[in-house]
Structure 1
Amino acid sequence: MSLEWQNVLIYGLSGLALLVILWPTVKVGQRFLRRWGVSDPTEQQGLLARRYLLHRRLLYPPLFLAAPLITFGDTNPLPTLITALLLGEIIAMLRPSRGPRTATLTRRTWSDLVPRWALVAMLVLAGFAALLAVAAGLAKQWGMGLLDKYPPDGFWRTNGDIVASVADVHRMLDNSAWLVVLVSVVLVTAVVLGIVWLAVYRGSGTDPSVDAALRTRTARVAVGIGIAWMSVNVQQANNKLINIRDIRWPEPAPSWLTGTGWLESITVPMLIIGIAGWICVANPDSRMPYVQTARPTA
């Protein structure tokens, strides 16, 4: 895909606009903590939350500027947005912790921070995207093998009408889109699980309640982004498979390829699942038991 520098600039300016609109203050930090289960947060707690938000939001302009380079100028804004937000979480989480640490009486596990169904949903979507990507790769191999039977400048007919030229179909197949999907699924799965692991095991902050809220938010946002990313990759792998299947081949396609026609109906549901899952997981529940039970040791 070609990279249009106009689009890159638009993404960069969008990141700058988000930074201005979402610039955190202490009051914003207090409201943020209240949403994530901290009852009556103090000004000092609001300051800790503001620092947490600021570390992430200051990354928006450069990451929104760089994300189209990573997504190869994809005209769909969703992969670029997801990439920028995920990179922001990674970089912010890798910042070294400073200040004194406070242990808590509550032992953390990943299920304290993230709903089990959310992580399972992300992994199921990841497996489905990988399966479709592999299927698209196998379909490409079959198609390229069939093209080898025809001269490079040849074509084939059906009922006397020219259906396709070998050169045109070869150009359609001659890419590694399926492999890009497969690699991105593996990488993002590893990154999301890594962020959740850091959220669980990273050293505690100075305020146990704030620390519990922030690490819960970090883990849930990462998994929510992961769900959205996997749904996008299901769509991309499925579209590649559809394109190959819809070519009017001169010979019957394998039964496993022709039997994937029903997958065309999942495009819209995948988009809905991705967005709904992202919103649902990346926002707090009505009850935040881990945050409310976090207490300092005596």
Structure 2
Amino acid sequence: MLGTNELTGRDQEDDVRDTGIELGALAFVGVMLLIALWPTDKTAAKVLRKWNVVDPTPAQVAESKVYLKRRRLLYPWLFLAIGYGTSKLLPSDDGYFTVQVLTTVLAGMLLAELIAAVRPSRGVRRVAVLVPRRVRDLVPAWGLVAFFLGVDVVVVLLVLARPVAVPALVFLAFCVLTSTGAILLAVKRPTSGDEAVDEAFRLRSARVALGLGTAVAGVLAVAADPSGYAVPALCLVLIGLGWNLVSPPRAEAAAGR
């Protein structure tokens, strides 16, 4: 009996040590992700120009920098939670590092939009738009169709896989929820701060959420363990569509130059 207790104690110590190592590794990756994406005045101005604020003022750059900081400060914590939750809920599955990173960004965008929707503005008073915004004002209709059609196809492939790719289905469901939630909040949340900056980041949030969601669906298609070229081709198509959606509309981008 004593030997059994000693063995149990050692197993518990090993579990605690392994958990500590795992959390430390996830925290390290999360911090590296934060450092790599930490905004500067230069990057904040570049983001504004990309999203159609042609000649941003210092005040607009400062507001853009704060906007980016608030979102990216969420990344280490979310990556830690998503990575650790994945390891506990799906202990026998790995190979989802890329998906974890992308879903971390999606979750960060959703939380940031939610915070912006409920947090009172401390700067310029919020103003209402005369014409209500629609989802199609921020993201193209073809992008929505491609996203949901791609998700439907990937779901079928994952369900038909043997064994059924349950981890991929969980990630895909999370991806759909975070993407659609971020898009709807970008459309519906109140306007705050500088109007041009608010519109630029509203457009950016919606399109990046849709683009990343489409790309994640493409990456997860690989979990169907395909034979032949059809599924890898679908994967590449969805990733390509997602990459295209992450950019601002071509007409507006051209007008901003």
Q: TM-score, normalised by structure 1?
A: 0.67
Q: 1:77 maps to what in 2?
A: 97
- Is 1:62 matched up with 2:87? no
Q: 2:176 maps to what in 1?
A: 189
Q: 2:41 maps to what in 1?
A: 26
> Which 5+ residue runs of structure 2 have no aligned equivalent?
1-17, 88-92
Partners of 2:19 and 2:228 in 1: CA distance: 30
Partners of 2:239 and 2:105 in 1: CA distance: 14
Question: Where is the helix percentage greater, Structure 1 or Structure 2?
Answer: 2
Shift of 1:122: 1.0
TM-aligned CA distance change 1:6 to 1:273, over 3 Å: farther
Partners of 1:103 and 1:204 within 8 A in 2: yes
- Is 1:201 matched up with 2:188? yes
Partners of 1:235 and 1:270 within 8 A in 2: no
Aligned partner of 1:114: which letter? V
Deviation string 1:145-197 (CA, Å, 9 cap, x unpaired) is xxxxxxxxxxxxxxxxxxxxxxxxxxxx5xxx434444443343233112111
Q: 1:98 maps to what in 2?
A: 120
Shift of 1:49: 1.0
Q: 1:232 maps to what in 2?
A: 219
Partners of 1:9 and 1:214 in 2: CA distance: 33
Partners of 2:190 and 2:210 in 1: CA distance: 21
Partners of 1:120 and 1:22 in 2: CA distance: 30
* Percent identity (aligned): 32
> Which 5+ residue runs of structure 1 have no aligned equivalent?
141-172, 243-262, 293-298
Aligned partner of 2:119: which letter? S
Q: 2:240 maps to what in 1?
A: 276
Aligned partner of 2:77: which letter? P
SS in 1 for 2:251: coil
TM-aligned CA distance change 1:229 to 1:80, over 3 Å: same
* Alignment size in residue pairs: 228
Q: 1:215 maps to what in 2?
A: 202
Aligned partner of 2:32: which letter? A
TM-aligned CA distance change 1:187 to 1:65, over 3 Å: closer
Aligned partner of 1:20: which letter? I
Larger radius of gyration, structure 1 or 2? 1
Partners of 2:107 and 2:178 within 8 A in 1: no
Shift of 1:60: 2.1
Among 133, 146, 149, which residue is 1:108 paired with?
133
Partners of 1:190 and 1:40 in 2: CA distance: 35
TM-aligned CA distance change 1:17 to 1:222, over 3 Å: same
Partners of 2:49 and 2:120 in 1: CA distance: 24
Shift of 1:204: 0.8
Partners of 2:78 and 2:108 within 8 A in 1: yes
Q: 2:252 maps to what in 1?
A: 288
Q: What RMSD in Å do the two structures reach over aligned CA positions? A: 2.7
Partners of 1:125 and 1:234 within 8 A in 2: no
Shift of 1:4: 7.9
